Amino acid sequence: MKVKLNGKIEDINQATVLELLTARNIEPRMVSVEHNLKILDKEDFGRTPLREGDSIEFLYYMGGGG
Amino acid sequence: MAMNDDQIKRYSRHILLPEVGGKGQKKIANAKIFIVGAGGLGSPAALYLAAAGVGTIGLIDGDVVDLSNLQRQVIHHTADVARPKIDSAREKIAALNPDVRVVAFYERLTAANALDLVKDFDLIIDGTDNFPTKFLVNDTAILARKPLIHGGILRFIGQVMTILPGTSACYRCLFKAPPPAGLVPSCQEAGVLGALAGIIGSIQATEALKLVLGVGRPLADRLLTYDALTTRFRDVPLRRNPTCPVCSDHPTITRLIEYEQEVCRTA
């Protein structure tokens, strides 16, 4: 199915947000996920189904500035 | 307060802008901006805000200048190594623009001092170098109801967002709590391109001036990310999180808390 991932249309076959993170080798604890404009609780990554046309943003922690 | 001839000349390129004019320049002169950290982001932010004629700049930093800071912390010079950053920054600001009053604090921002320190300022700029302080700055802004311009940098990527308490998404709407220690590398461990700090800190100064002037569209409910390697900006739309621990209608954080400091100490 086609989803918009970080602003780009991509063809994916993962069923949940957690599966998508795992497939991309992204450690779930180091990212926030916005799914159709809603920031997900980390506990919900595994039970948030992905559907055709969804918009997903991976938002990364950036702690520098000094 | 009327501007003298020197001030009219100094700020002429601002005054020429219809969005600023003499009236806007006076707003800038009356503004009080608090910058947390006189480092990579705080340096360009402080220099541009001082050059712009911001009447009062508050600066807090408990560190001294280290040789490894000079690759990006442009307010500090080689002769400043080992001096408190706030002393170095105060001198550069005074040399750049004597119109600016600097209120400097040679200490760390803590849960005990934060609300008192920010109370006389209109808005806050986050130039901190670690997650515990970034969360503390966010919570302070929400509890004190002061707009905050958040900034973060790592390697070749930076992010900025404006937080209008009670109106737009805050840092905790996105990130409920700091990442587990050691999972996300610090700049000290991972490095950062010095000029990137200049871009992100300058955007923070720009967004602060827009709020002071009341012009344009603030960077609220948006996370701007900049990737220096591809030279791309992305603007991710955000919404307030109804379960945000600090800015939602039923917050679980109602007073300031401090997380343990991690390793990124050499700001």
For residue range B60-114, list pLDDT tens digits in order: 999 999 999 999 999 999 999 999 999 999 999 999 999 999 999 999 999 999 9
Q: Report yes or no: B71 and B194 within 8 Å, Cβ to Cβ.
A: yes
Element (H, E) at A32: strand A31-35
Using a CB–CB cutoff of 8 Å, tell me whether A62 touches chain B: yes
Q: Which residue has the tokens 């932010």?
A: B45
Task: Confirm or reject contact between A7 and chain B (CB < 8 A).
Answer: yes
Inter-chain touch A30–B179, beta carbons under 8 Å: yes
Superfamily of domain A2-60: Beta-grasp domain (3.10.20.30)
CA B78 from chain centre, in angstroms, equals 23
Alpha-carbon distance A4 to nearest alpha carbon in chain B (angstroms): 12
Q: In chain A, which residues have their Cβ closer than 8 Å to the Cβ of B183?
A: 27, 29-30
Going from N- to C-terminal start, the domains of chain B cover 25-237
Q: Looking at the domain B25-237, which fold is it?
A: Rossmann fold (3.40.50)
pTM tops 0.80: yes
User: A43 — contact with chain B (CB < 8 Å)?
Assistant: no
**The tokens of B202 are what?**
């300058």
Query: Which residues in chain B touch residue A45, judged by CB atoms under 8 angstroms apart?
Result: none
Question: How far is the C-alpha of B218 from the C-alpha of B207, rounded, in Å?
Answer: 7
In order of A19, B108, B110, the CA distances from B210 in angstroms are: 41, 28, 28
H helix count then E strand count, chain A: 1, 5
Sheet containing B232-237, strands listed edge to edge, beginning at the edge strand earlier in sequence: B101-105, B56-60, B32-36, B123-126, B148-154, B157-163, B222-227, B232-237
Helix, strand or coil for residue B152? strand
A46 pLDDT more than 70 = yes
- What does the pLDDT average to over B233-259? 96
Distance CA(B177)–CA(B179), nearest Å, equals 6
Rounded CA gap, A20 and A15, in Å? 8
- What pLDDT, on a 0 to 100 scale, did the predictor assign at position B265? 45
ipTM, two decimals, is: 0.93
| pLDDT for the residue numbered B182 | 79
